[in-house]
Each structure stands twice: as structure tokens, then as C-alpha cells.
Amino acid sequence: MENDKKISLYIVEDYLLTRVTYKQAMKDYPEIDIKGDFETAEECIDALEKQLVDVILMDLGLPYMTGIEATKIIHRKYPDIKIIILTSHENDDEVLSSLASGANAYALKDIETKKLVNLIRTVNEGSIWIDPRITKVVQKTFYKAEPKEKEDFNLTQREKEVLDLLVQGFSNTEIADRLIVSPNTAKAHVCNILDKLSVTDRVQAAVKATRYDL
């Protein structure tokens, strides 16, 4: 995407006040172009038949079709659309189901507006992000489900540092800032980590890092 191109956005949220709040807060960010907001997932899916968007903010607790079900359908039909799942809960089953739905990011609804806008930019560029609090749910699940296995996957010390930040939910840009390296270097480290762990995205990398106590 060109830097001067606006990011088109749909908001799917059953509470009118929350939808209005999102729209009002994002008025200060002209690069975000809200094309529509919907009370139900079905309305959003119908709208996609007429107009596609770059990113969708998807609530989980929707009436009728859930956000997880909608995300699976949209991801299958429109794989280029990025989906950010928003939830007010840290329920274990809900989080794990979200991780398998094909969404690009998982955030709690109390996320600050500035960080949410940065998240929209990040996923629109192709990155995957998980709220650190949600990552803890994944970690807790693996700690309960099975003993941690030992394997280092030939990760360098620097790659382990990058992986630790990745598990905490930091984007490539934030990783670069924290480690005082260029964004391209941070991205290269992440790509190397995914390759060494034999995974295809950051979510799988975070889960595997927890399982093998990396």
C-alpha cells in the first residue's frame, strides 16, 4: 500500500455507543477511512459483496453469528482482508478459538485509540499482532495441557531476544525500537525465527515458543 493511500475500514460491533466511540476517536486520524459500521456479522458480510475494505474490526460477542464464525467465513472468501478481533474478555476457549479463525490481530477492547490505529496500520502492512494479555492465556493453556519440551531450534541469542518481544505482542517496528536496530533488521530476524521454528506466522511462533520454553 502506498503511504498516501487511506486504509479502508469496517467496524463490526453490536453496541451502538461503542461503534460511535470508535468512529469519533478515529476522526483525528485522516489515514483511516471508515466505510461502514455494522451491528451484526451478517450485515458486514453482505456489505463485502458490494464493497471490499482493507481492514475489519471484528467484535467477538455478536448476536446471531459470532465474530469467530464471521472471521472464518471472511478469511476464506477474502483472504486479502485483514481482520482485527476485539474482545472484552480473556476467556481461554474464546482466545484459542480466535487464534484458529484466521484473524491477523487479537486485542482487548480497552486498547488505547492511538495504539489501535497503529495496530490497523501494522496489520494492513501484513503483520500479525497479539495483545500480551491474550498471549498469557495461550501460555497458561500450554502450561496446564502438557509439560514443556526442551529444544532450542538453533536460535541465536539475538533471535531469542526478538522472539521474547514477539511473544509479548510487539510489532516489528516496536521490536526495532527496543533493540535499537532498523525495521528491516527486525523483520529479517522475525523471518529467520519463523523459518527455524517451521511456522508460518507470529501466532504459531508465540505458541511454539511457549510449548518449548524458548
Domains of the chain: 7-132 (3.40.50.2300), 146-211 (1.10.10.10)
Query: Cα–Cα distance between 72 and 75 in angstroms, integer?
Result: 5
End-to-end CA distance of the chain: 34
> What pLDDT, on a 0 to 100 scale, did the predictor assign at position 130?
77
Q: Which residue has the higher pLDDT, 80 or 205?
A: 80
State the pLDDT confidence band at 93, using cuts at 50, 70 and 90: low
> What pLDDT, on a 0 to 100 scale, did the predictor assign at position 41?
96
State the pLDDT confidence band at 102, using cuts at 50, 70 and 90: confident
Q: How many residues does the chain have?
A: 214
State the pLDDT confidence band at 91, using cuts at 50, 70 and 90: low
Mean pLDDT of 5-24: 93
Query: Cα–Cα distance between 188 and 121 in angstroms, integer?
Result: 19
Asked if the model's pLDDT at residue 166 lies above 50, the reply is: yes
Query: Cα–Cα distance between 116 and 109 in angstroms, integer?
Result: 9
What confidence tens digit (pLDDT) does each residue in 30-53 have? 999 999 999 999 999 999 999 999
Q: What is the chain's Cα-based Rg?
A: 17
Query: Cα–Cα distance between 80 and 63 in angstroms, integer?
Result: 25
Asked if the model's pLDDT at residue 144 lies above 60, the reply is: no
- Note the helical H segments in the chain: 16-25, 41-48, 67-77, 92-99, 113-124, 132-145, 157-167, 172-179, 183-197, 202-211
Q: How far is CA 51 from the centre of its chain?
A: 23
- C-alpha pair distances (Å), 40 with each of 21, 36, 142, 159, 212: 17, 12, 33, 42, 39
